[in-house]
Amino acid sequence: MKDSKKTNQDSNDGKQKDLDADRSNAEGQFLTTDQGVRINDDTNSLKSGERGPSLLEDFILREKITHFDHERIPERIVHARGSAAHGYFELYKSMDSYTKAGFLNNTSIKTPVFVRFSTVAGSRGSTDLARDVRGFAVKFYTQEGIFDLVGNNMPVFFIQDAMKFPDLIHAVKAEPHNEIPQAASAHDTFWDFISLMPESMHMIMWVMSDRAIPRSLRMMEGFGVHTFRFINEKNESHFVKFHWKPKLGIHSVVWDEAQKISGKNSDFHKLDLWQAIEDGHFPEWELGVQLIPESDEHIFDFDLLDPTKLVPEEIVPVTIIGKMTLNRNPDNFFAETEQVAFHPGHIVPGIDFTNDPLLQGRLFSYTDTQLSRLGSPNFHEIHINRTIAPMHNNQRDGHMRQEIATGRVSYHPNSLGGGCPFQAKIDQGGFSSFNERVDAQKIRERSGSFSDHFSQAALFYNSQTPTEQEHIAAALSFELGKVETPAIRERMLGLLNQASAALAAKVAKSLGMTVPKIPEKPINHGVGADDAGAHEPVKAKQSIERSDALSILKNPNSSKSISTRQIAFLCAEGVSGASVEAMKAALEKEGAKAVIVAPHLGDIKTAEGSAIPADQTYKIAASVLFDGVFIPAGKGILELSKIREVKEFLNDSYSHCKIIAGEAEGAQVLGDINDIDEKDGGVLAGSSAGDKNLAASFIKALGNHRYWEREKSLS
């Protein structure tokens, strides 16, 4: 732990210095009250006699209990559960022809960042493996102020207008009468809302896909979702879409696995991120941008301002411009991860908004929520939220103000303070909004260009491999299968049918229903509450039919690296030490981690007479917490086929399409497990201890993440 911190020191310097002043290290120090008075007894309250009543004057007890009573602050209304890390961003090439933002111009600057990943629907203590969108919020501490890229791991959103956000969240969260279910969308209110909101269909495809159950936060893409603007020195605007591409590629788990992980280790993602950073396997993402000249605003078959649409990478390629590395875990979850305040309205000169009506609503919501959550307009003074740029203004006072502003002037203009602080001219770095022409009537209406709700839903579905399509159908069958109201299921089948008849038919079959011929006319968004003048949903002709970038399995950004993968070595007394050591060395060379699982903790005696320390027992370990399994050689290994937990372990590994390898006696054990087909391409056998060919083919197969072919024989 100490080492990983040392190596990070230089990269995070700016932010680090700022935080050091308030970092508390109790090593070798006296226990004191908050006022600095040394405490002599922290165990007994002040009483009138040994068995007498406690005294009100016990300021030590009262201070301690009062602080404890107020330890909790309201959790976030959405994205309550999060995990975060510090790191830095490096620019590969100057983007000065598009944006004047300093951190995107100067390749010698390392910009400190703090990133918080989150689930959306669940409470703070809910499971990491919920089927859900993941928040991907990045705070850039730039020299020109804070830039927050508050995105998700999916490039589109459920709704087009911020007006519907409270409804969406009320619908997806636990139902209000009985607070059930926690962190799950598989219930009536969510699907009731969705079935009446056809604009959500594209996003529904994403949340029903494997993107919603990532293997690791380190293996997810990130997206800014909205179209933003880059503004250059000449005040020219380009539309920009932001992308984060994980260096480890995109990987997910399967739904049955996700549910089991939730039971075995509901902190699975949190721990995975923490451990990777502690082990020095710093997660990395490349930052990509899709750039669209202002003049091309209307050339697409959708509206760039519509957050339920993406710009296919095949139409506007993603230009990679830099890399983000996360290299330091927070020191204190509450002070940093919980108190960090993101806001899409935190932008710097060179970046600007568009009129996306969802983004516009967000620009109000985030400061407002921080006031309620963090309790004061001074939330920017909490260390994790502080800018590293000089900060001077005439804002004053408020709860828990930290800054001691000097002088008598707190207004502008002033002469008594020499006019300070000055307004900055544009060429001095002063922020000025893009000079967009807006000349229109005041209306409550949705643009007709937002009315195509199904074409990109179809594009997403059609771009998936058959395996991925099966997963979407299975997810919908699960979710709608949990819906109790038949009319909601029926409306959903009607909507799905408009995106893909094949998908709707599959889901209908599992629900034991038929797809309605004429879908119920969904609520539409037009003028006024009575829907008069509503825009009928349309289907625009799409310029592409498939996009590989939308699929995880065909993704051009895929990675065969097995770095940080967790491989279970199923061992027993009498295991071949040579077999364990050779495979362990081969895997570790590729950055993977071998975890020795055995009948008991302590040392396991090898066939050679040496000892191998066990990391976990069969009672603790579960297949769902590992990426692959190896059963080494050795006579004693044959005992494994008799252990119930081992059989369960192997059956689960097999049904979740994991790669399983056995060497000599280890391969025999695989043969003893009825459910496992030894001819399956993801089940590998080696003939003798230390089989180099087996190690090579195991590593290659693990690089493909799963052996998805197996699913056909399982269904």
Q: How many residues bind ligand HDD (CB under 6 A)?
A: 27
Which two tokens mark 299? 């050339």
Among 137, 138, 550, 657, binds ligand HDD (CB under 6 A): 137
Interacting residues with ligand HDD between 614 and 653 (CB under 6 A): none
Per rule CB under 6 A, is residue 241 in the interface with ligand HDD? no
Helices (H) and strands (E) in the chain, counts: 18, 18
Cα dist from 661 to 445, 572, 579, 628, 694, whole Å: 60, 16, 12, 8, 8
Stretch that binds ligand HDD, among 26-34, 360-368, 476-484, 604-612 (CB under 6 A): 360-368
β-strand partners of 660 = 629, 683
Residues 6+ apart with CB under 8 A from 368: none
CB of 196 to ligand HDD, least distance (A): 18
Give, as one character, the DSSP assignment of residue 422.
P
Residues 6+ apart with CB under 8 A from 537: 198, 451, 452, 453, 454, 498, 522, 524
CB of 29 to ligand HDD, least distance (A): 32
CB of 648 to ligand HDD, least distance (A): 37
Interacting residues with ligand HDD between 314 and 353 (CB under 6 A): 340-342
The answer to whether 232 is a known catalytic residue is no
CB of 508 to ligand HDD, least distance (A): 31
CB of 273 to ligand HDD, least distance (A): 14
Per rule CB under 6 A, is residue 362 in the interface with ligand HDD? yes
Query: Nearer to ligand HDD by C-beta: 15 or 81?
Result: 81
β-strand partners of 243 = 223, 288
Query: Nearer to ligand HDD by C-beta: 77 or 538?
Result: 77
For strands 319-328 and 284-293, give the pairing. antiparallel
**Distance, CA of 705 to CA of 701 (rounded, Å):** 7
Which two tokens mark 448? 């007709």
Q: To which residue do tokens 């195509």 refer? A: 452
Per rule CB under 6 A, is residue 79 in the interface with ligand HDD? yes
- Alpha carbon 561 to its chain centroid, in Å, reads 20
Per rule CB under 6 A, is residue 220 in the interface with ligand HDD? no
Query: Nearer to ligand HDD by C-beta: 76 or 260?
Result: 76
The answer to whether 152 is a known catalytic residue is yes
CB of 225 to ligand HDD, least distance (A): 4
Per rule CB under 6 A, is residue 135 in the interface with ligand HDD? yes
Contact 405, 396 (CB under 8 A): yes
Per rule CB under 6 A, is residue 152 in the interface with ligand HDD? yes
335 burial class (0-12, 13-18, 19+ CB within 10 angstroms)? middle
- Of the candidates 79, 86, 380, 471, the residue annotated as catalytic is 79
For strands 566-570 and 593-598, give the pairing. parallel
Stretch that binds ligand HDD, among 21-29, 262-270, 292-300, 363-371 (CB under 6 A): 363-371
- Angle at the Cα of 531 (from 527 to 535), degrees rounded to 5? 75
Per rule CB under 6 A, is residue 86 in the interface with ligand HDD? no
576 burial class (0-12, 13-18, 19+ CB within 10 angstroms)? buried
**Distance, CA of 273 to CA of 263 (rounded, Å):** 19
What phi, psi does 83 have (nearest 5°)? Answer: -135, 140
- Angle at the Cα of 430 (from 427 to 435), degrees rounded to 5? 90
Question: Helix 692-703 vs helix 577-589: angle between axes, to the nearest 10 degrees?
Answer: 40
Per rule CB under 6 A, is residue 307 in the interface with ligand HDD? yes
Per rule CB under 6 A, is residue 357 in the interface with ligand HDD? no
Per rule CB under 6 A, is residue 162 in the interface with ligand HDD? yes
Per rule CB under 6 A, is residue 139 in the interface with ligand HDD? no
Stretch that binds ligand HDD, among 11-19, 357-365, 451-459, 510-518 (CB under 6 A): 357-365
CB of 240 to ligand HDD, least distance (A): 15
Residue number of the CB atom closest to ligand HDD: 135
For strands 683-686 and 134-142, give the pairing. unpaired
Among 157, 379, 460, 707, binds ligand HDD (CB under 6 A): 157
Count of CA atoms in the C-beta half-sphere (13 A) of 327 = 20
Per rule CB under 6 A, is residue 225 in the interface with ligand HDD? yes
Per rule CB under 6 A, is residue 358 in the interface with ligand HDD? yes
CB of 183 to ligand HDD, least distance (A): 15
Single-letter amino acid, residue 713: S
Question: Helix 165-172 vs helix 188-195: angle between axes, to the nearest 10 degrees?
Answer: 140
- Short-list 251, 216, 214, 257, CA closest to 652: 257
Stretch that binds ligand HDD, among 28-36, 50-58, 179-187, 362-370 (CB under 6 A): 362-370
Query: Nearer to ligand HDD by C-beta: 156 or 511?
Result: 156
- Of the candidates 8, 152, 462, 557, the residue annotated as catalytic is 152
Per rule CB under 6 A, is residue 366 in the interface with ligand HDD? yes
Stretch that binds ligand HDD, among 9-17, 75-83, 203-211, 631-639 (CB under 6 A): 75-83
Per rule CB under 6 A, is residue 431 in the interface with ligand HDD? no
Residues serving a catalytic function are: 79, 152
Which residues would be at the binding site for ligand HDD (CB under 6 A)?
76-79, 82, 116, 118, 135, 137, 150-152, 157, 162, 165, 225-226, 307, 340-342, 358, 361-362, 365-366, 369
